[in-house]
Structure 1
Amino acid sequence: MAHVTPDVGSTRGRVAELGLLRAEAERGPGDKATEAQRAKGKLTARERIGLLLDEGSFHEVEQLRRHRATGFGLEAKRPYTDGVITGWGTVHGRTVFVYAHDFRIFGGALGEAHAAKIHKIMDMAVSAGAPLVSLNDGAGARIQEGVSALAGYGGIFRRNTRASGVIPQISVMLGPCAGGAAYAPALTDFVFMVRDTSQMFITGPDVVQAVTGEQISQNGLGGADVHAEVSGVAHFVHDDEPTCLEEVRYLLSLLPANNRENPPAADPADPVDRRAEALLDLVPADGNRSYDMRRVIEEIVDEGEYLEVHERWATNIICALARLGGQVVGLVANQPASLAGVLDIEASEKAARFVRMCDAFNVPIVTLLDVPGFLPGVEQEHGGIIRHGAKLLYAYCDATVPRVSVVLRKAYGGAYIVMDSQSIGADLTFAWPTNEIAVMGAEGAANVIFRRQIAEADDPEVMRARLVKEYKAELMHPYYAAERGLVDDVIDPARTRAVLASALAALRTKHADLPSRKHGNPPQ
């Protein structure tokens, strides 16, 4: 570590000394450590901050902080920043607070001073009412500092929890994140990962092998693809850091600074009253035929642009942020192209979490229904589909933001109710002329209701077909729900965009009075 002899006889000398110290802090541990970082395909912490924030907007906090630990050789190594860079800047001109682990210093491991810097910037973010982005690339707790490091993580977790639903919290995984350190990202609103270079796990491959005998690589255990497709821990995955950080900037452009503000509006280049004629052909009237709900979303939202959350996990439901008439909306939609769009354990959890996020940050919710029901099976029942499905039901019932739903085609049974039906508080419900809202499909209903008649018929199949047709005509025609006030209007599919935009505009000043309570107790 280079030392500077100050010129105590002049202010100019002191300023020169300060410049040398800042230069040393910004340079970091040296070229060798930087080369090692780049050899792993990773950028440095300052390069990452430069990509995340608007050019020249970063203001660093506690740049000259150093640890005060002794023993195990630490007293001889006291680098500035202590392995984490903290501060604030702007993204698209709006204030954002950030901290970034510097893996070149102590492997980005967290010690007492390191944690204190993070605590301070987290507190500042909440006080200022501005988003917090963490750029994670650290080896966990600094073992040499013992329990002080663990206490530092506790302070982060407590602040993550207190900030939840108050300011957007975004975790960007750009390297390893092991042990208790993995819980901080898990407590935030969104997790980004970079393929091949970032991993998250509680116990690493060596421990897994020692305890269970299973052999697995770091990426196989906790890599980006695993968390995007299997565990659902990662909301977004990208191939490289620049693309990942650009997507973080895009996400921030769709979120408010805090829970007291609305998401930022934009001037729509796409006419709000544009007819989406393609919708007349995209969705087959035959409920047994599949289609891609993403194409429906593209026709409805501004310029066909949306940001899908958890794109590769629980693919039978789609959760996305987009703009409609320049206003940000959250979209929840069944996906008939995956498992026919049924609700199961993972889809229920995914949608429930998204609905709660939208409600926390004043994002109106649009629900597009084409759901045949909940996925049947022993595995689902034993896995707690009742409990997990109730999470989605609770999230919708608890949400106070504007809620508008559209029934495109099938809407059967409990799944219809759970997917923001009017009976659980949707402000407005629309339906296409192809809708089928019922307790169950006509075939299943006929088999239950007319079981004896079918069994006693000379030709059971002919009898079944006739009774199915009668049931559909009587109880599943497109206007049955509208006649009973369960649907506010049956609309031309091509006008869906205009209808939704008008409905959301009318609901923009919606206010909901809530009962006095400490908090609810949702199903877990």
Structure 2
Amino acid sequence: MIMGPCAGGAVYSPAMTDFIFMVRDSSYMFVTGPEVVKTVTHEEVTAEALGGATTHTTLSGVADLAFDNDVDALLMLRRLYNYLPLNNREKAPVRKSNDRADRIDISLDTLVPDNANKPYDIKELIVKVSDDGDFFELQPDYAKNIVIGFCRMEGHTVGIVANQPMVLAGCLDIKSSIKAARFVRFCDAFNIPVVTFVDVPGFLPGTSQEHGGIIKHGAKLLYAYAECTVPKITVITRKAYGGAYDVMASKHLRGDVNFAWPNAEIAVMGAKGAVEIIFREEKGDSVKIASREVEYKAKFANPFIASARGFIDDVIQPHETRKRICRSLVMLRDKKIENPWRKHGNVPL
């Protein structure tokens, strides 16, 4: 909890903690304050702009949540603690709920638009599969193209990671990869199962991403999922393309249970892009290209092909998503993995 100024070497104490909450207009974090910045770089900046709550929850990603006053921050902290175990050797608290595990929600059948390029809000799915629609989101204003947070299913705490099609079409980039990787590693450290909702067309292209080290930073998320030993359940709602599909808790990264909705597209890339590369000599013929796209989707970009190859455990109807996740969590409740001893892994920092 940052409730006032925190500067210099003192900032590394909160930086080493699991979560950081800040209060707007009264809490600040910076290694060097505005006066030092002005003296050294001749740049004039306010304490709020340099290291205020808004800065750290929207730009730097250092803090998780920002609040208008101390009371709101403390109340939200209590709500967060309600999801967490006291330590890594204990289980998270179980809260009784009247929300049935086999509840179905017909509205989920129409959540994903027929047009594959039209966005939808993944948070609607998260809320509808959670106990009593209660979802505690972390870092909601940072790297909005991925959603992380806690919910409960049958009273048990579950960590949620989900691509957000409303922002950047759900693409993974540097910031979202780091955000999700840190959260997955936290859940693994405290034995909290991870449920991943996938709708990812790929990694965000561009020179800024490549020059910023998307290869290394994207590998952090891959590493986090591969190393994670808690129950991992994945639901592919629409797109799952290329390397981004692999990274998002796929079977190739020791995912325990992978489901897909009937309209899911699991392939190296989308039909349009693939056809333009494979059949580039037919690019001028729109009729042939259209038929090739249909052929590509039928042969490759559908969940049934992936299921036949063992990449998907089952193709499920959207309305039964909660029921199937809850059933899988019960099956995996006593999951134990004994990895060979080693000093520690070498995370691609």
> Partner of 1:357 in structure 2?
186
Shift of 1:284: 1.3
* 1:44-83 alignment runs, 5 A limit: none
> Partner of 2:340 in structure 1?
515
TM-score w.r.t. the length of structure 2 is 0.99
Shift of 1:410: 0.3
* 1:195-210 alignment runs, 5 A limit: 195-210=24-39
Residue 465 of structure 1, aligned match among 267, 281, 290: 290
* 1:319-468 alignment runs, 5 A limit: 319-452=148-281, 454-455=282-283, 459-468=284-293
Q: What does the per-residue CA deviation read over 1:155-176, in whole Å, with 9 as the maximum and x for residues that have no partner?
A: xxxxxxxxxxxxxxxxx00000
Q: What does the per-residue CA deviation read over 1:48-85, in whole Å, with 9 as the maximum and x for residues that have no partner?
A: xxxxxxxxxxxxxxxxxxxxxxxxxxxxxxxxxxxxxx
Q: Does 1:475 pair with 2:300?
A: yes
> Partner of 2:113 in structure 1?
284
Q: Secondary structure in 2 aligned to 1:278?
A: helix
CA distance in 1, matches of 2:299, 2:84: 45
CA distance in 2, matches of 1:300, 1:516: 37
The answer to whether the 8 Å contact 1:285/1:409 transfers is no
Shift of 1:333: 0.1
Q: Does 1:503 pair with 2:328?
A: yes
CA distance in 1, matches of 2:91, 2:191: 6
Residue 244 of structure 1, aligned match among 46, 51, 73: 73
Residue 257 of structure 1, aligned match among 79, 82, 86: 86
CA distance in 2, matches of 1:474, 1:285: 19
Q: What does the per-residue CA deviation read over 1:85-137, in whole Å, with 9 as the maximum and x for residues that have no partner?
A: xxxxxxxxxxxxxxxxxxxxxxxxxxxxxxxxxxxxxxxxxxxxxxxxxxxxx
Q: Secondary structure in 1 aligned to 2:136?
A: strand
Q: Secondary structure in 1 aligned to 2:98?
A: coil
Shift of 1:462: 2.0
* 1:33-48 alignment runs, 5 A limit: none
Q: What does the per-residue CA deviation read over 1:372-418, in whole Å, with 9 as the maximum and x for residues that have no partner?
A: 00000011001000000000000000000000000000000000000
Higher relative contact order (CA 8 A, sep 6+): 2
CA distance in 1, matches of 2:21, 2:49: 17
The answer to whether the 8 Å contact 1:422/1:486 transfers is yes
Residue 191 of structure 1, aligned match among 20, 37, 53: 20
Shifted more, 367-376 versus 265-274: the winner is 265-274
CA distance in 2, matches of 1:185, 1:477: 45
User: Runs (4+) of structure 1 moved beyond 6 Å?
Assistant: none
Shift of 1:465: 1.3
Shift of 1:281: 1.3
Residue 487 of structure 1, aligned match among 312, 328, 334: 312
* 1:156-167 alignment runs, 5 A limit: none
CA distance in 2, matches of 1:259, 1:311: 25
Q: Percent identity over the alignment?
A: 52
CA distance in 2, matches of 1:320, 1:277: 24
The answer to whether the 8 Å contact 2:303/2:312 transfers is no
The answer to whether the 8 Å contact 1:228/1:313 transfers is yes
The answer to whether the 8 Å contact 1:278/1:299 transfers is no
The answer to whether the 8 Å contact 1:195/1:224 transfers is yes
**Paired letter, 2:324:** V
The structure having more radius of gyration, on CA atoms, is 1
CA distance in 2, matches of 1:464, 1:484: 27
CA distance in 1, matches of 2:302, 2:138: 34
The answer to whether the 8 Å contact 1:402/1:504 transfers is yes
| Number of residue equivalences | 349
Return 5+ residue gaps in structure 2 as ranges.
none
* 1:297-316 alignment runs, 5 A limit: 297-316=126-145
CA distance in 1, matches of 2:313, 2:97: 27
Shift of 1:477: 2.6
Q: What does the per-residue CA deviation read over 1:195-234, in whole Å, with 9 as the maximum and x for residues that have no partner?
A: 1110000000011111111111000100000000000001
